[in-house]
Structure 1
Amino acid sequence: MSFDVLEKLEAKIQTAVDTISLLQMEVDELKEQNGKLDDENQQLRQQHQAWQDRLQALLGKIDQVEESA
């Protein structure tokens, strides 16, 4: 192999390493964003459950009033 071929190979390897590093950083960033979305989703599910519980309680009170009447 000539020196020129080795230089080209080294350049391609360096480009591949740089690309892999950038992609890994992007993956880490996306994982962080996903974690934040998971947290937000969990909070919304808890709020949804709380509203459902309150609604069920109100419907139960309406049923009690109707039965008393």
Structure 2
Amino acid sequence: MSIELFNQLEQQVSNAVDAIEMLKMEAEELREENTRLKQEHDEWEQRLNGLLSKFQALETSNSSETSA
């Protein structure tokens, strides 16, 4: 194997390692963003359920008043 081929192989391996490291960092950032978005989704869901509960309470109280 000539030195030139070995140098090319070494460069390709180095490039592959760099690409893998970048992909790992990107994957970690995406995992963090996914976690943040899940938390945000859960908060919105809780708020929405709270509003729905208020509407249901209003509807129940209006039904009670109407039938009384």
TM bucket by the smaller chain?
A: over 0.9
Q: Point out where structure 1 has 5 or more consecutive residues left out of the alignment.
A: none
Quote the residue 2:30 is aligned against: 30
Q: RMSD of aligned C-alpha atoms?
A: 0.5
Between Structure 1 and Structure 2, how many residues are aligned? 68
| TM, length-normalised to structure 2 | 0.97
Moved over 3 A (4+): none
**Residues 1-69 of structure 1: pairs in structure 2 closer than 5 A:** 1-68=1-68
| TM, length-normalised to structure 1 | 0.96
Q: Point out where structure 2 has 5 or more consecutive residues left out of the alignment.
A: none
